[in-house]
Amino acid sequence: MSIDLSQFFEVFFEESFEGLDAMEAELLNLRPGEEDSETINTIFRAAHSIKGGSGTFGFTSVSDFTHVLETLLDQIRDGRRKLTSEHINLLLQSVDCLRAMLSALQNQSEPDPTESQKLKAQFEAILGIESEAGGEEVLSEAEPDKLTFQIDFKPHAHLFKTGNEPLYMIGELAELGDLETQAFHDGIPPFDEFNAEDCYLAWRFFLTTTAPETAIHEVFEWVEDDADISVQLCGGLFEEFDDDLDKEIAATISSKDTPKSVETIEHEPAENITAQVKEEKAPSATAAAQPALSAKPSTSTPKTQDNTSTSIRVGIDKVDSLINMVGELVITQAMLSQLGEQDMTDSTISALQEGLAQLAHNTRDLQESVMRIRMLPISFVFSRFPRLVRDISQKLNKQVELKLLGEQTELDKTVMEKISDPMVHLVRNSLDHGIETPEQRIAAGKDPVGTLTLNAFHQGGNIVIEIMDDGQGLNTDKIKQKAIANGLINEDDELSSEEVNELIFRPGFSTADTVSDISGRGVGMDVVRRNIQALNGSVEVSSARGVGSTFTIRLPLTLAILDGQLVQVAEHTYIIPLISIVESLQIDVKKVSRVGKNLDVLRLRDEYIPILRLFDIFNHDGAIEELDKSLLVVVESDNQKVGLLVDDLLAQQQVVIKSLEANYKRVDGISGATILGDGRVSLIIDISGLVKLSGLRKPGSQELVLDPNLAEAIS
Amino acid sequence: MKKILAVDDSASMRQMVSFTLKKAGFDVTEAKDGSEALSLAKQQGYDAVISDVNMPVMDGITLIRELRALPSYKFTPLLMLTTESGLDKKSEGKAAGATGWIVKPFNPEQLLAVLKKVIR
């Protein structure tokens, strides 16, 4: 029987990665000298499972490497070796290495052995094992001779209670070659002493085979301690029968006189053993023992295609709720189609309207349930931080305690994947710039151990992620000086501390005096902000000198659906994300002034709002061009407000976002498209892109062309 | 059809064992640890149990000890899946009442070959 093992690979990889995550998390909890056995056990089990699985599925590079890990862990577990921080470091590196190896294998390429060999050598140095350079010893390939063995097998009385069955063992022996069987039944006691659960029989076999003696021992491997077994080579069947030997064996088999009790049972054995045995002579056991070569992944031709078909695990409650919703939907549909067949009267029309309302309700519920399927707890992102914080704080000689809050807060998988990098950057920053060294902290009267907190929670339709540290806070003086030096602000500019803090998000801005290993390499906060904005999110910072800083990231729960305001521009319908709309108003033309060549600004309370004419930007004819007859939708993006001039406001509704890039190409000022109820395609406005497109923004800057001084001048 | 209970905390290993045995014509029930296996085994009889040793909640050796103590599992083949590095476990397993052991890593063919020692 051949079984294609590759069908189990995906599950194996999935659980191995989970195992590695668990190992990593537990390793990070370990403190040398105060380790508890359950933690070590969990780590051991994970390593052990990966080893067992990789060996079984033919990933020998992984199983070889895991072997040394497991050996070390086993020794620690048994108390034969004391856990040191060196061990923890090495084990953590091994987790990384195994992850890389498994990823390579998952992509059907052979892992790079450099790292694993290096680590393996370190393990072997600890364990005191000589590296086996030669590999397996080559077995001599001499032609096996046909030999005859005499095998005596006397099970102890309790053999059946081990679950073993002599009949099957005899069958196995028969598969090795020609088998002659004799049974000794003189051990059977008188009837009144007979215990049906005990084994009283003994056997002598003559096996003529080309198989090695070890194969015979293997047959009895499980019962070595539950029986008297002897295997001896003899010249041939009954030919060179050694009398002394015979007596000796007879003595072990039975204390009684042998000649009477030995019975040749070749043709009519007890339990028909021989008959059964003779039929199964084909020695298939050796062939079966060959490893399944076909099951190994082809290593010579790694597939270039990226076949990382990802999967997510969904709680059964979510699936149940979906099934419920679909049930509701089916009922509503049945009701509607029944109504559709009837003649239209006032009562059917009102029933129809009711049905449609029901349908809308069902659809909304269904949609929410479907969205929930892609929601995963943010612990998927948080879980990588304990390791990161440990490594970085070790490198920086800082003591940091990481607190994770709201780990169960759910977030769409696609958002999750994209938020992790910006978060890593913020965490690195907090560790590098925020939290002080233990000496500095003691000098400042603080606990030498700093605290970094990651907190996630839902607020409205958003998820909020906070990265808080109790470090020294942002140095506003330094930021200001740096900004002046970079020409971002003027020396005499009066800025609030919030405005100063905002400066760190400017491109090319870094307050690090020296470029360190951790941060300050020029990939700055501007990239962080841009990446978060690409997710329709925002990031801001608040900070108090000497107390700490908090970075707050706000993200929509999902990227696939958006609450939109439909607006009319000429005969076209556009969608403005509701989240960015501040207000919509009719323009008081008296408050509009012209700035520069063709930019109008509206004075709204004490702000100046640049007016962007959508029909102009998108080249539509037939739109209302008079300011007093159209409407202005004031939106906020990048902390700047602009007004979008539209003909009319239509409905607000949730829209399903379709990628324009995937279906057509990237269009400036447009973030995506959706299909409206009437089947038309409507474009979703990307406010930040639109501002850039309109030429309102200075190149390479977040700042609008509109100069506050100029605005003063107009008023 | 002979009924086998396959116990392993690793889903891939469990699937592989179960798939192999089903293909060979056995009726297979899966359990993810010793305690789940024990309660299954108490509900109905199995003709053989194949269990991993290292598992959370209840390990394989404890499972074997518990099963062997049940009258209905007095003679049932109880096999443990162990690794070459865990071979000292085999004597512990034997003492607990294991019938024998299958050494990991193994392939489906080896599993069936070994199983023939105890069940046909």
Q: Say whether A361 is catalytic.
A: no
Name A538's bridge partners.
Answer: A554
Q: Which of A86, A91, A77 is nearest to A27 (CA)?
A: A91
Pick from B24, B52, B75: which is nearest to A160 by CB? B75
CB distance A15–B83 less than 8 Å?
no
CB contacts of B99 in chain A (<8 Å) are 162-164, 222
Confidence of residue A142 (pLDDT cuts 50, 70, 90): low
Residue of A nearest to B71 (CA): A161
Question: Known catalytic residue: A89?
Answer: no
Q: Which of A356, A364, A310, A366 is nearest to A336 (CA)?
A: A356
* Residue from A671, A469, A462, A478 nearest A579 by CA: A462
Tokens encoding A634: 């004031």
User: Which of A153, A285, A279 is CA-nearest to residue A212?
Assistant: A285
Two structure tokens written together for A417: 């994947």
Task: Confirm whether pTM is higher than 0.90.
Answer: no
CB-nearest to B85 from A70, A222, A291 is A70
Measure CB to CB from residue B104 to each of A56, A172, A288 and give the nearest one: A56
Instruction: Assess contact for A641 and A582: CB atoms under 8 A.
Output: yes
Confidence of residue A280 (pLDDT cuts 50, 70, 90): very low
- Predicted confidence band of residue A281 (pLDDT cuts 50, 70, 90): very low
**Residue A55 sits at the chain B interface (C-beta within 8 Å):** yes
Q: Report d(CA A51, CA A60) in Å as an integer.
A: 9
- A481 alpha-carbon distance from chain centroid: 43
Region A616-624 average pLDDT: 88
The per-residue pLDDT of chain A, averaged, comes to 78
The set of residues, in sequence order, having a beta carbon less than 8 Å from that of B20 and lying 6+ positions away, is A1, A3, B108, B111, B112
Please name every residue paired with A459 in a beta bridge, in sequence order, or none if there are none: A462
A418, two tokens: 């994209």
In whole angstroms, what is the distance from residue A380 CA to residue A417 CA? 9
A182/A205 Cα distance (integer angstroms): 6
Helices A9-29, A37-56: inter-axial angle, 10-degree rounding: 160
pLDDT, tens digit (0-9, with 9 covering 90-100), for A314-363 = 778 888 888 888 888 888 888 888 888 888 888 888 888 888 888 888 88
CA closest to A56 among chain B residues? B105
Q: Cβ distance A68 to A38 under 8 Å?
A: no
pLDDT of A2 above 80 = no
Q: Give the span between the Cα atoms of A644 and A610, in whole angstroms.
A: 9
Mutation for testing the B interface, residue in A56, A57, A277, A296 having most B CBs under 10 Å: A56
Give contacts of B72 with chain A, Cβ < 8 Å.
none
pLDDT value, residue A268: 42
- Output the pLDDT for position A87: 86
Confirm or reject contact between A70 and chain B (CB < 8 A).
yes
Residue-level pLDDT at A452: 94
Optimal mutation site among A9, A49, A176, interface B, most CBs of chain B within 10 A: A49
Q: What are phi and psi of A368, to 5 degrees?
A: -65, -40
Partner-chain contact B109 A290, CB within 8 Å: yes
Q: What is the mean pLDDT of residues A396-410?
A: 90
Judged against a pLDDT cut of 50, whether residue A298 lies above it is answered with no
Within 8 A of A169 by CB-CB distance, chain B residues are 117
Residues in chain B: 120
Binary contact (B107, A5; C-beta < 8 A): yes
- How much of chain A exceeds pLDDT 90, in percent? 13
Q: Least CB-CB distance to B116: which of A14, A51, A172?
A: A172
Is the pLDDT confidence value at A260 over 70? no
pLDDT digits (tens, 9 = 90+) for A519-574: 443 457 888 888 888 787 888 888 888 889 999 998 877 777 788 899 999 999 99
Among chain B residues, the shortest Cα distance to A7 is held by B16
N- to C-terminal Cα separation, chain A = 89
- Please give, rounded to a whole number of angstroms, the shortest distance from the CA of B58 to a CA of chain A: 13
Query: pLDDT tens across A386-402, in order?
Result: 988 988 888 888 999 99
If contacts are CB pairs under 8 Å, which of residues 218-247 in chain A contact chain B? 219, 221-222, 225
* Interchain contact, B118 vs A165, CB within 8 Å: yes
Peptide bond into A166 cis (omega under 30): no
Confidence of residue A442 (pLDDT cuts 50, 70, 90): very high
The verdict on whether A48 is a catalytic residue reads yes
pLDDT in tens, A512-525: 554 444 444 345 78
Pairing of strands A410-412, A375-377: antiparallel
